Structure 1
Amino acid sequence: MPLPTPHAAFPGAVWPAIPPTPAAALLAVLGQLAESQCMEADELAMARRPQLEALMAHAAGQLPFWRKRLEAAGFEVEAGKNAGLSLAEWNARWASLPVLTRAEVQSLEAQLRVAKLPDGHGVVGESVTSGSSGRPVRIARSTLDYFYWQAFQLREHVWRGRDVAGTFLTISRDESRKVIDESVHLRSMADWGPPASVVWATGKSFLLDYRAPVRRLVETICEVRPDYLCTFPSLLLEILRHARGEGIELPPLKEAIGVGEASPPELAGLCREVWGAPLCSTYTAAETGAMAYQCREGGRWHVQAEKSFIEVIDAEGRACGPGQTGRVIVTPLHNFAMPLLRYEIGDLATVGEGPCVCGRTLPVLEAIPGRARDLLMLPSGELRPPYYGHNAVMQVRSIRQHQVIQTARDRVCLRLVVVQPLTGEEEAHVLKSAGDALGAGFVVEIEYVEEIVRGAGGKFAEFERRC
């Protein structure tokens, strides 16, 4: 599908349009990405290196933690000083840089945040990870980093050939919701919101809060009749199962989009069977934004290598080859507020083999296992995503790791690893936050443990239902 014409900055200059400044900036990056997506591996690595070295110089200049690590790895810490290194020499030094763990990000948070951003990078905001690895972390992010997130989101819309004039429904958590019960909370917006609406005229969008029984969510989908639907794969699976089991004919859909988790193997087939729609998945994280998008033609995931330097390594720290599964190590390239060099994000990925049938030469991932989640069972027996007030619970900074276990229809246990015992006030805050979020009918209890280990295959379940 051809790209729609962007917004025009001046009356009468509608085609070819001269877009307003925000749209022009996004389209300028998008145009560069259209070229870099076809670079050969070494060419891409060399094109990325100046950006990575600018990040390294900034980190070393403000943070003793990074200066020490980079110098120990053999890097000069001033920008441009490593230009004489061959690609092989540079890669060898980079591989000797220790992996940054989540535990380090938690315990050294203040030492990893810079005091001053470079000119033009905007202001600093904060993201809190969802905790899919069991170790939620707080990440400082700049306005510039958010801009790049928008540019890469535009790239996905273009890659998938989406009709931005259509209607877009997201089923996620709506922070504006005040009362948590089994009712439906739906908000309507005039457009898709940034970044699409910054550049193009779009259709309407809706945000449906996921804290409602699946049957009510299905009823709302039938009322909204979206062209595109974006939600968690685990929730989409239950929506499809419910529709099939109840004989409900879902309205036509152009595409279902799974985010935040790995898609169960059966989901794509079920989506076509029940809904007659294709499924695509995106690989994102709160710390980094987009890391990989699923290819429309090839079905595998293209690493967004111009935004995040992704490595997949084995237990010994060696780079994995095609077909091998290893730990994902990521370096976000544009977040100067809290540089994360060789950060272990807590996921597993299987390296793919190129070239892709689509013609793009960006690195590919064959699979991203280990990110699926269970659904919470309500006392009534119905299912919904396991919202338990994560952000409020994690305000207690003594909590270093957590896991939520549903042991019965009316009972939930919060397993906590803490650096020091919680006060009575902190315990009360945790219990009330979780209880309010879960809703009436649940008994919440706390269990303190020394460690929460991963299961078979390195998987970690932030939430488990054992009933």
Structure 2
Amino acid sequence: MITPETASPRSAVAGIEWPAIAAPVGASLLALQFQLDRSQWWSPERLLENQLQQLKKLIEHAVKKTDWYAADPVWREIANQQHPLTQDQLSTLPILQRRDLQNQLPALTATNLPKAHGQLIELATSGSTGTPLKGWETELNQFFWGGFTLRNHLWHNHNFDGKFAAIRTRVGRQTLPNWGPAVSAAFTTGPAVTLGIDTPIGEQAAWLADQQPDYLISHASNLKALAHYSINYKTRLESLNAVISFGERPADGLDDLIGTAWGARFEDIYSAEELGTIALQCPDQPQNYHVMAEHLLVELLDTHGKRCQPGAAGRVVVTALHNFAMPLIRYELGDYARLGSQCTCGRGLPVLTEILGRARNMITLPDGSQHWPSFPAELWLAVAPIRQFQLEQRKLDEITAHYLLDRPLTRVEEKELAARLTDSLRFPGTIVFRQHTRPLSQAGRKFEDFVSRL
């Protein structure tokens, strides 16, 4: 078993195993980890000071090299000021909306890049809400993404000697010699196997049983379906140590479900395709997510645009500090999260205690008030063997419950489930039911268990 504590870096020099002399990319990854290992313990004030220094450099570049920022006198003034950027100034800067990125991509794309940032790489999101997004990043920015992937492995003490399985979009069924460049450039790893997420759940379960991986990464909704399948059909994954979700808000109780299905621990990564890893679960206090503050400046803003205080939920606004190809400064992601106090682990990295999802995931009551809905899987599984469940609100006084089941619910089951839902949701309206015999989600799209169409 080769854990991060016992692993030696991969040496690129023949005959030299220890101390290792890494290849350039591996050496850079190790150098980055050396810095990250120290900066995670900095005070919040020191982290913010360094973030603002880097942001000032990004703004200067953006004003010189993009039409979007050059056209606005607010950005030009910041770029030209001689004194450091302050947090109060940051709070007054314009918010970049998703529609701006969709409609003004040429204006937001830099006309020239520093040579050391490498080549342009095209970004394309899956469009979880039906609107795909395109953009650009640099090789250097992608290097930082890899650095935080490696940090996650190091934080959670993953066994580099194990087999890593990924069920996701944009991959096929294949076997790879290692875990990918984010890890293998610096360390020797075991093999990796991949499978497309559009593979039927039964085939996924059979594939996993054949592969017997040590680690599995996939979208939360896919992991939930797999766990239910494994419980129902007694699929055994003897070697599985950890299950990692990304790209979606995990449903309530998913960690317990995974423990029941496979006896594995659950880890979640808060990420976005245009930004990379936003926050990782704390290795010491897993109820907390630590923002990757060395790469992203994350703000949580209330309905008035003011910074949230610990305990409050707000809109997630992110600045990508190192993507000079397409500067995303105060980019409103469309998510909501809850801000936490400094973690008791001692790390100074900002804390999110809850990833709430998008505004379209909020329930609206007949009086116009809103809150985040809660309806854990055990609530509906206690009524019928439903394989997939989604709530959709189109009216203030009515919610449609879509369910995947081979047969319709009986009237007794509908009555019982409606009572459970109205109580759990704190919703005084009507619940109507609609049966489906095919999966509710589309391949390549994030699954949302509650969707508001109001």
TM-score range, shorter chain: 0.7 to 0.9
In structure 1, what is the equivalent of residue 56 of structure 2? 53
The answer on 1:142 being equivalent to 2:130 is no
In structure 2, what is the equivalent of residue 157 of structure 1? 153
Residues 133, 347 of structure 1: 8 Å contact kept: no
The answer on 1:132 being equivalent to 2:142 is no
Match of 1:100, as an amino acid?
A: L
The answer on 1:224 being equivalent to 2:225 is no
The 3 A distance-change label for structure 1 pair 274 and 462 is closer
What SS does structure 2 have at the residue aligned with 1:6?
Answer: coil
In structure 2, what is the equivalent of residue 201 of structure 1? 188
Residues 348, 369 of structure 1: 8 Å contact kept: yes
The 3 A distance-change label for structure 1 pair 339 and 197 is same
The answer on 1:278 being equivalent to 2:276 is no
The answer on 1:62 being equivalent to 2:68 is no
What SS does structure 2 have at the residue aligned with 1:283?
Answer: strand
Residues in 2 aligned to 1:77 and 1:361: alpha-carbon distance in whole angstroms: 28
In structure 2, what is the equivalent of residue 309 of structure 1? 297
Structure 2: segments with no counterpart, 5+ residues: 362-387, 391-401, 408-433
The answer on 1:4 being equivalent to 2:7 is yes
Identity %: 33
Q: Name the stretch that deviates more: 328-337 or 129-138.
A: 129-138
In structure 1, what is the equivalent of residue 98 of structure 2? 102
Residues 404, 436 of structure 2: 8 Å contact kept: no
Residues 302, 308 of structure 2: 8 Å contact kept: yes
What SS does structure 1 have at the residue aligned with 2:356?
Answer: coil
Residues in 1 aligned to 2:216 and 2:199: alpha-carbon distance in whole angstroms: 17
Compute the displacement of 1:67 (Å).
3.0
Give the alignment partner of residue 212 of structure 1, picking from 199, 202, 210: 199
Compute the displacement of 1:109 (Å).
1.2
In structure 2, what is the equivalent of residue 454 of structure 1? none
The 3 A distance-change label for structure 1 pair 337 and 217 is same
The 3 A distance-change label for structure 1 pair 326 and 291 is same
Match of 1:351, as an amino acid?
A: L
Residues in 2 aligned to 1:94 and 1:269: alpha-carbon distance in whole angstroms: 40
The answer on 1:81 being equivalent to 2:82 is yes
Compute the displacement of 1:219 (Å).
1.1
Residues 133, 346 of structure 1: 8 Å contact kept: no
Match of 1:269, as an amino acid?
A: D
The 3 A distance-change label for structure 1 pair 462 and 269 is closer
Give the alignment partner of residue 335 of structure 2, picking from 338, 343, 347: 347
Residues in 2 aligned to 1:45 and 1:461: alpha-carbon distance in whole angstroms: 33
The 3 A distance-change label for structure 1 pair 133 and 313 is farther
Residues in 2 aligned to 1:145 and 1:49: alpha-carbon distance in whole angstroms: 18
The Cα offsets for residues 324-373 of structure 1, whole Å up to 9 and x where unpaired, read as 1111000101100010110001111111111x233211001001012699
Match of 2:257, as an amino acid?
A: L
Residues in 2 aligned to 1:208 and 1:215: alpha-carbon distance in whole angstroms: 13
Give the alignment partner of residue 115 of structure 1, picking from 111, 126, 137: 111
Residues 69, 75 of structure 2: 8 Å contact kept: no
The 3 A distance-change label for structure 1 pair 244 and 47 is same
What SS does structure 1 have at the residue aligned with 2:322?
Answer: coil
What SS does structure 2 have at the residue aligned with 1:261?
Answer: coil
What SS does structure 2 have at the residue aligned with 1:327?
Answer: strand
Residues 159, 296 of structure 1: 8 Å contact kept: yes
The Cα offsets for residues 181-224 of structure 1, whole Å up to 9 and x where unpaired, read as xxxxx211111111111111100100011222212111111110
Match of 1:168, as an amino acid?
A: F
The 3 A distance-change label for structure 1 pair 7 and 411 is closer
Compute the displacement of 1:465 (Å).
13
Residues in 2 aligned to 1:14 and 1:325: alpha-carbon distance in whole angstroms: 50
In structure 1, what is the equivalent of residue 413 of structure 2? none
TM, length-normalised to structure 1: 0.76
Residues in 1 aligned to 2:389 and 2:222: alpha-carbon distance in whole angstroms: 9
- The count of aligned residue pairs is 383
The 3 A distance-change label for structure 1 pair 3 and 345 is farther
Give the alignment partner of residue 326 of structure 2, picking from 317, 320, 338: 338
Matches within 5 A, 1:238-317: 238-299=225-286, 300-317=288-305
Structure 1: segments with no counterpart, 5+ residues: 178-185, 382-405, 414-433, 439-458
Compute the displacement of 1:307 (Å).
0.6
TM, length-normalised to structure 2: 0.78
What SS does structure 2 have at the residue aligned with 1:31?
Answer: helix
Residues in 1 aligned to 2:15 and 2:274: alpha-carbon distance in whole angstroms: 42
Q: Name the stretch that deviates more: 189-198 or 130-139.
A: 130-139
Residues in 2 aligned to 1:247 and 1:50: alpha-carbon distance in whole angstroms: 54
In structure 1, what is the equivalent of residue 372 of structure 2? none
Q: Name the stretch that deviates more: 247-256 or 312-321.
A: 247-256
The 3 A distance-change label for structure 1 pair 3 and 50 is farther
In structure 2, what is the equivalent of residue 329 of structure 1? 317
Compute the displacement of 1:460 (Å).
9.9
Compute the displacement of 1:76 (Å).
3.3
Compute the displacement of 1:8 (Å).
1.1
Residues in 1 aligned to 2:305 and 2:293: alpha-carbon distance in whole angstroms: 20
Residues 39, 361 of structure 1: 8 Å contact kept: yes
Residues 300, 307 of structure 2: 8 Å contact kept: yes
The Cα offsets for residues 47-92 of structure 1, whole Å up to 9 and x where unpaired, read as 22222111100000122421344x42684314x7233x6xxxx112
Match of 1:267, as an amino acid?
A: L
Residues in 2 aligned to 1:407 and 1:121: alpha-carbon distance in whole angstroms: 52
Residues in 2 aligned to 1:225 and 1:261: alpha-carbon distance in whole angstroms: 24
Compute the displacement of 1:155 (Å).
0.9
Residues in 2 aligned to 1:308 and 1:133: alpha-carbon distance in whole angstroms: 23
Give the alignment partner of residue 167 of structure 1, picking from 163, 168, 187: 163
Residues in 2 aligned to 1:148 and 1:325: alpha-carbon distance in whole angstroms: 28
The 3 A distance-change label for structure 1 pair 380 and 190 is farther
What SS does structure 2 have at the residue aligned with 1:77?
Answer: helix
Residues in 1 aligned to 2:26 and 2:440: alpha-carbon distance in whole angstroms: 47
Match of 2:18, as an amino acid?
A: W
